[in-house]
């Protein structure tokens, strides 16, 4: 077997060190490309190193382990096998049921040598199965559909958006919004004839939107389903949306492509 490479994303130094040392004892031939301390660095380093195995702490600053996995699933090169993902979690027994139902690999903090040994054996077995390895991206995408939090319920839905435009405040009915797009610390509110920035995050905005009307199609994009003209798949299999009232198209990530399967 060729040299197997791994990357660890864990923000607690003591736990990261313990995981690293235990892996060295259990799997001496495993090459660990480093330990990163937040979800943003996890995405950056994973895309740069393209490891075979990725240990992701669920609760990290910058991005959670689930958010990092989602971003990697969206941006991973088509011609490179997706890494085997192991979630490291301190969640309680109830929360772990979600991982088990999604068939995700996970280890519970504090990581014990006996439990990690079982994970190592599973990883070795999966790495030897080339067909399963080639399907790893589809497997993690399926897991993320279950594990990534869906748009939560809100006691009141947002009906009107107040957006600053120069020295004015523009009142935008939510029903007129074609899509919302995350741009750093702002969200771009796009209608048929205008674009306006509001100082909030997409994560904060989403609970106030009707999930039956507004669909997340990418980690940074939520679209008004009634404004979708059609979904188009290109030769490489990537989906994009044509919109009513706008000339641009919107990319659909792998995680949300299932929304546009033919009925």
What are the boundaries of each domain within the chain?
Answer: 5-147, 160-260
Q: Name the pTM for this structure.
A: 0.78
- CATH code for the structural domain at 5-147: 3.40.50.2300
CATH 2.30.30.90 holds for 160-260: no
Contact indicator for 84, 119 with CB cutoff of 8 Å? no
pLDDT at 150: 59
pLDDT at 98: 67
DSSP letters along 47-70, please? HHH--SEEEEESS-SSS-HHHHHH
42 membership: H or E segment, kind and range:
helix 39-49
pLDDT at 129: 79
Q: Give the alpha-carbon dihedral of 55, 84, 68, 258, to 10 degrees.
A: -150
pLDDT at 91: 75
pLDDT at 154: 54
* 10-residue averages of pLDDT along the chain (263 residues): 90 94 96 96 97 94 91 90 91 68 77 93 86 73 77 72 86 97 92 93 92 94 97 90 96 92 69
d(CA 108, CA 78): 31
pLDDT at 10: 96
């Amino acid at each position: 077997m060729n040299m197997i490479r791994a990357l660890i994303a864990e923000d607690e130094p003591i736990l990261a060190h313990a995981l690293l040392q235990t892996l060295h004892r259990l799997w001496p031939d495993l090459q660990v490309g480093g330990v990163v301390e937040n979800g943003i660095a996890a995405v950056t380093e994973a895309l740069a190193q393209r490891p075979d195995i990725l240990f992701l702490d669920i609760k990290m600053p910058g991005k959670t382990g689930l958010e990092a996995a989602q971003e990697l699933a969206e941006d991973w090169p088509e011609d490179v096998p997706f890494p085997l993902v192991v979630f490291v979690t301190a969640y309680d027994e109830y929360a772990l049921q979600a991982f088990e139902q999604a068939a995700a690999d996970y280890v519970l903090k504090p990581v014990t040598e006996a439990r990690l040994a079982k994970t190592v054996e599973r990883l070795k077995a999966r790495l030897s199965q080339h067909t399963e390895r080639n399907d790893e991206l589809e497997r993690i995408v399926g897991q993320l559909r279950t594990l990534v939090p869906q748009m939560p319920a809100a006691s009141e839905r947002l009906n009107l958006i107040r957006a600053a435009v120069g020295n004015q405040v523009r009142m935008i009915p939510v029903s007129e919004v074609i899509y919302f797009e995350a741009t750093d610390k702002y969200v771009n509110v796009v209608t048929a004839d205008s674009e306006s920035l509001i100082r909030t995050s997409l994560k904060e905005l989403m609970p106030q939107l009707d999930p039956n009307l507004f669909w997340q199609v990418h980690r940074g994009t939520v679209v008004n389903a009634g404004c979708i003209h059609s979904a188009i798949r290109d030769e490489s299999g990537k989906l994009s949306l044509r919109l009513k009232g706008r000339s641009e198209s919107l990319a659909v990530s792998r995680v949300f492509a299932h929304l546009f399967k033919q009925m």
